[in-house]
């Protein structure tokens, strides 16, 4: 076996702190990138926010008691750092930069379908960024597949509060996405 395989076969309880951080950041890279994208307007801001997530996770890991899943713990840290990021960034500008994530076409994929999916994702991201922070947090976590209980754990609120925020956020998204479609049809 190679050293790389041995390193990744270490049970989580026996990992060195550096190994654990690397494993968690690798395992949860896509969700962390999506959280960063929902709060940051530019590529540079997203990269800064991802670095903030990694540092905050490194500092918080020794205190992780296992009261929730690692995924919930990591997303709680990411959302807390994101809210801090927004408060430091200052007032939101009226023009929200369109998020340009490259669409990776798999072999044989219809380019028109890939483009349409990318555009729908961009519209959803733009609309999500326009939501108030409490609603944005719930939408982002719902899109990551978390249950209302897990979201309540991440945000430190009740499940009922999560349900209310989710209902209000969905209504706001319908309005925002409807406005986008109406503008495109004109």
pLDDT for the residue 50: 95
pLDDT tens for each residue of 98-154: 333 333 433 455 566 656 667 777 788 888 888 998 999 999 899 888 999 999 999
Integer Cα distance of 175 and 177 in angstroms: 6
pLDDT for the residue 125: 83
pLDDT for the residue 30: 92
78 Cβ contact partners less than 8 Å away, ≥ 6 residues apart: 31, 32, 35, 36, 53
Report domain extents, the chain: 11-89, 109-186
Query: Region 59-63: what's the mean pLDDT?
Result: 92
pLDDT for the residue 2: 40
CATH class of 11-89: mainly alpha
pLDDT for the residue 102: 38
Fold designation for 109-186? Arc Repressor Mutant, subunit A (1.10.10)
Instruction: Measure the CA dihedral 95/98/99/101, to 10°.
Output: -170
pLDDT tens for each residue of 4-45: 444 445 556 678 889 999 999 999 999 999 999 888 888 899
Nearest in space to 151 (alpha carbons), one of 96, 69, 62, 59? 69
pTM for the whole thing? Answer: 0.64
Query: Region 151-158: what's the mean pLDDT?
Result: 92
């Amino acid at each position: 076996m190679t050293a790389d395989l041995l390193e990744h076969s270490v049970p989580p309880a026996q990992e060195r702190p550096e190994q654990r951080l690397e494993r968690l950041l690798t395992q949860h890279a896509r969700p962390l990138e999506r959280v960063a994208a929902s709060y940051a307007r530019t590529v540079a801001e997203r990269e800064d926010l991802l670095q903030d997530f990694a540092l905050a996770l490194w500092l918080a890991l020794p205190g992780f008691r296992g009261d929730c899943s690692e995924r919930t713990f990591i997303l709680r840290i990411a959302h807390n750092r994101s809210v801090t990021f927004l408060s430091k960034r200052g007032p939101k500008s009226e023009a929200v930069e369109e998020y340009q994530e490259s669409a990776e076409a798999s072999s044989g994929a219809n380019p028109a379908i890939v483009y349409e999916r990318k555009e729908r994702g961009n519209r959803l991201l733009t609309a999500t960024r326009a939501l108030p922070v409490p609603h944005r947090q719930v939408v982002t976590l719902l899109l990551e597949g978390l249950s209302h209980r897990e979201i309540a754990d991440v945000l430190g609120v009740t499940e009922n509060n999560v349900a209310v925020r989710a209902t209000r956020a969905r209504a706001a998204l319908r309005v925002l996405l409807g406005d986008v479609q109406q503008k495109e049809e004109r």
